[in-house]
Amino acid sequence: MSASYMKMGSHFRFLSLCLLALVASTHAQLQLGFYAKSCPKAEQIILKFVHEHIHNAPSLAAALIRMHFHDCFVRGCDGSVLLNSTTNQAEKNAPPNLTVRGFDFIDRIKSLVEVECPGVVSCADILTLAARDSIVATGGPFWKVPTGRRDGVVSILEEARNNIPAPFNNITTLQTLFANQGLDLKDLVLLSGAHTIGVAHCSSLSNRLFNFTGKGDQDPSLDSEYAENLKTFKCKDINKLNITKIEMDPGSRKTFDLDYYRQVIKRRGLFESDAALLNNSVTKAQIIELLQGSVENFFAEFANSIEKMGSIKVKTGTEGEIRKHCAFVNS
């Protein structure tokens, strides 16, 4: 065998190894303890901050899991919901995100992690971990969070408007929006279960209460006694619907439990999207099955679905970047 042939073969093998390394780095998978060597205290810093502050504002647990949900449904779980826009055209400027809270909370965690390990831990991972830790800290389910997400560099208002499920969506639209993210009807039911600790503004159900078909009528799928109670005691001032908040799981809002599903079965789910879960035989059967089971079973099922959601279209390896500040792409 000639020397030139051998040299050509070794050169080819070197190129092949380089190509394999490139492919591997671009399509690297999330893994538990991704920062074990590069920033071993990262998850501990996030957990400590959550535990120190969440009990002063327990409603932030619902806010953070909502932010995580909204982030993952647009360009995957890449922290793009955190980005600011000088022209107000980012995801956070879209109607579904105007009531999202917790941006400052994430920024404060990021600043602490940056002091420990500059440029190592992504905002996408910080958001995902903080959402999980806040739910656990307030008595909700634990789920595994593999890390290694990279931060996206694009954030577009219209994409958020078109991809995030809305309170007025029917079951067909909900199924489509979830399927677009690789989630099924079971995931829809289980992730809706986070409404057990949620609050809503009266404006998000004003049509159901006051003008469902444009004739000053009420949504017939909403329990009439409950609707009357809402109009009389909760959403009574038409001029303050945008600022008046209401519990999504009355009497049990601070507890992550099955009561949300009991409300839905009684036709007392606040949103049209909650009521829509009864309009499909699969989703309705899922709710009944959950109610026949234990809270522990619900926690385990919820964990499966949110772990699945947390892996939607993630950027890993050499994709995206590690932002220095969560609200801005690196210059």
- Phi, psi dihedrals of residue 328, rounded to the nearest 5°: -140, 140
Over residues 170-206, the pLDDT tens digits come to 999 999 999 999 999 999 999 999 999 989 999 999 9
Cα torsion 300, 255, 91, 35: sign: negative
Binding-site residue ranges for substrate = 165
Mean pLDDT to the nearest integer, 279-300: 98
Evaluate whether 271 touches 241 at the Cβ level (below 8 Å): no
Q: What percent of the chain has pLDDT over 90?
A: 86
Condensed to tens digits (0 to 9), the pLDDT of residues 252-272 reads 888 999 999 999 999 999 999
CA 317 centroid distance within chain:
22
For the annotated catalytic residues, the residue numbers are 70
Give mean pLDDT, residues 213-240: 93
Known binding-site residue numbers for Ca(2+): 71, 74, 76, 78, 80, 91, 196, 249, 257
- Among 8-17, 110-119, 244-253, name the one with the lowest average pLDDT: 8-17
Mean pLDDT of 38-48: 98
Predicted local distance difference test score (pLDDT) of residue 26:
37
Average pLDDT over every residue of 48-58: 95
| Annotated binding residues | 71, 74, 76, 78, 80, 91, 165, 195-196, 249, 257
Beta strands in the chain (DSSP E): 199-201, 245-247
In sequence order, the 6+-apart residues with CB closer than 8 A to the CB of 33 are: 147
Pick from 264, 258, 250: which is nearest to 294 by CA?
258
pTM score, whole prediction: 0.90
* Core vs surface per residue 283-301: b (16+ CB within 10 A) or e: bbebbeebeeeeeeebbeb
- Taking alpha carbons only, the member of 138, 121, 132, 70 closest to residue 100 is 70
